């Protein structure tokens, strides 16, 4: 059946929302044996700053291999190169690990709901990170410290597996050297010679000073770590509405269309990844949801 001429004039499609933009690796550095940081700039506009809010993420694409959602770890108060701190755990992240200065990759974003930093102004701030969970919290910490006078007491509680797994070590050192920030560090296990704390992150929480009636907690780490952290914070009197956590689910599109990141009624990509805890408290403990 021959098609009439009118059939050959379909309307052009609107812009494809899942189309990445070409970026290049401007710098890379190793954080630990399996964690690395990439600094990226647009291939067609090397000096262009990447605007984002703390807690947001990008989809990073390696040619032919696939895309992964990775949170942004840069300092939002000093706009510049896009920064991602990544743990090599899967096919695409291992390929990202192998990228060298000048190599190309695709980037789209930023996506997702940010940490509500402004909401914490005038209050004590408790940051609790587990492992690579420190990376999405780094922009928040940078923003709080850039306007330090606007906040009450600030505690950063960081737990990781071993001393060899301490990422962003220079940052931690810098934050620890400040008199108005309390940095509490613990490892799950340590070789002889480690003089720091050994134990789970919740064991350090009692040392974080905050007024439960006027504080905000920001928590990122494995689900089990967040579960015990939230319990401990509640035990200290901090209500669920004063706690923010980040959730992680499989993600293909990052723009609310593919259905993969559903977590009960929530789409982690657009309703999260940062959630005020009382919003998800009812489903947080349900297994395999």
Partner 1 sequence: MSKHASPTLPAPVLWTRGDMDRFFETLRKEGYQPVGPTLRDGAIVYDTLSSTRDLPVGWGDEQEPGAYRLRKRGDEALFGYVVGPQSWKQYLFPPRRKLWSADRAAGGLEFKPSAEAPPKYAFIGVRGCELHALQVQDKAFLEGPYADPYYRAVREGSLVVAVNCGTSAATCFCASMGTGPKVERGFDLALTELLDGGQRFVVEAGSARGAKFVDELSPQAAAPEDLAEAARVVERTAATLRRKVEPGGLRELLARNLEHPRWDEVASRCQTCANCTLVCPTCFCSTVEDVSDLTGEHAERWRRWDSCFTFDHSYLHGGAVRASAMSRYRQWLTHKFGTWHDQFGVSGCVGCGRCISWCPVGIDVTEELAAIRANDLGKDGEHAHP
Between the alpha carbon of residue 182 and those of residues 122, 157, 235, 285, the distances in Å are 17, 8, 21, 30
Instruction: Say how far apart CA 20 and CA 69 lie, in whole Å.
Output: 13
Question: Is the Cβ of residue 9 or residue 195 nearer to partner 1 in the bound state?
Answer: 9
Q: Is residue 48 near partner 1 by the rule CB under 8 A?
A: no
Q: Is residue 19 near partner 1 by the rule CB under 8 A?
A: yes
Site for partner 1 (CB under 8 A): which residue of 80, 106, 116, 152? Answer: 106
Site for partner 1 (CB under 8 A): which residue of 27, 45, 65, 118? Answer: 65
Residue 282 backbone dihedrals phi, psi, to 5 degrees = -65, -35
Total number of residues that touch partner 1 (CB under 8 A): 57
Q: Bridge-partner residues for 183, per DSSP?
A: 156
- From 253, 219, 247, select the one nearest 109 (Cα to Cα): 253
User: Shortest distance, CB of residue 79 to partner 1, whole angstroms?
Assistant: 22
Provide the mask over 70-99, with x wherever binding to partner 1 is found by CB under 8 A and - wherever it is not.
-------------------xx---------
Question: Is the Cβ of residue 86 or residue 238 nearer to partner 1 in the bound state?
Answer: 86
Question: Is the Cβ of residue 65 or residue 169 nearer to partner 1 in the bound state?
Answer: 65
Q: Is residue 21 near partner 1 by the rule CB under 8 A?
A: yes
- From 280, 273, 260, select the one nearest 113 (Cα to Cα): 273
Is-contact 55 49, C-beta < 8 A?
Answer: no
Instruction: Say how far apart CA 191 and CA 257 lie, in whole Å.
Output: 47
Q: Is residue 149 near partner 1 by the rule CB under 8 A?
A: no
Binding site for partner 1 (CB under 8 A): 1, 3-7, 9-24, 43-44, 61, 63-67, 89-90, 104-106, 248-250, 252-253, 255-260, 262, 264-265, 267, 270, 282-283, 286-289
């Amino acid at each position: 059946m021959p098609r009439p001429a009118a059939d050959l004039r379909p309307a052009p499609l609107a812009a494809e929302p899942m189309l990445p933009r070409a970026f290049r690796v401007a710098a890379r550095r190793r954080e630990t044996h399996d964690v690395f940081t990439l600094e990226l700039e647009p291939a067609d506009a090397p000096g262009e700053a990447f605007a984002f809010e703390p807690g947001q993420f990008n989809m990073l694409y390696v040619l032919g291999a696939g895309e992964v959602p990775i949170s942004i770890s840069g300092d939002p108060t000093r706009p510049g190169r896009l920064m991602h701190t990544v743990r090599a755990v899967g096919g695409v992240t291992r390929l990202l690990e192998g990228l060298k200065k000048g190599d190309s990759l695709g980037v789209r974003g930023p996506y997702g709901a940010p940490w509500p930093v402004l909401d914490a102004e005038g209050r004590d701030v408790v940051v609790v990170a587990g492992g690579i969970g420190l990376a999405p919290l780094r922009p928040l910490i940078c923003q709080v410290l850039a306007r330090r006078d606007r906040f009450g007491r600030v505690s950063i509680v960081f737990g990781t597996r071993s001393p060899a797994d301490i990422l962003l070590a220079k940052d931690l050192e810098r934050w620890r050297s400040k008199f108005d920030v309390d940095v509490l560090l613990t490892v799950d296990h340590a070789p002889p010679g480690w003089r720091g704390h050994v134990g789970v992150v919740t064991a350090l929480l009692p040392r974080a000073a905050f007024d439960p009636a006027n504080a905000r907690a920001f928590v990122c780490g494995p689900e089990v770590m967040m579960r015990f952290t939230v319990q401990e914070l509640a035990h200290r009197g901090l209500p669920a509405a004063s706690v923010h956590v980040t959730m992680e689910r499989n993600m293909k599109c990052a723009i609310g269309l593919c259905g993969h990141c559903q977590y009960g009624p929530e789409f982690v990509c657009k309703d999260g990844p940062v959630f005020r805890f009382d919003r998800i408290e009812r489903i947080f403990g349900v297994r395999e949801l």
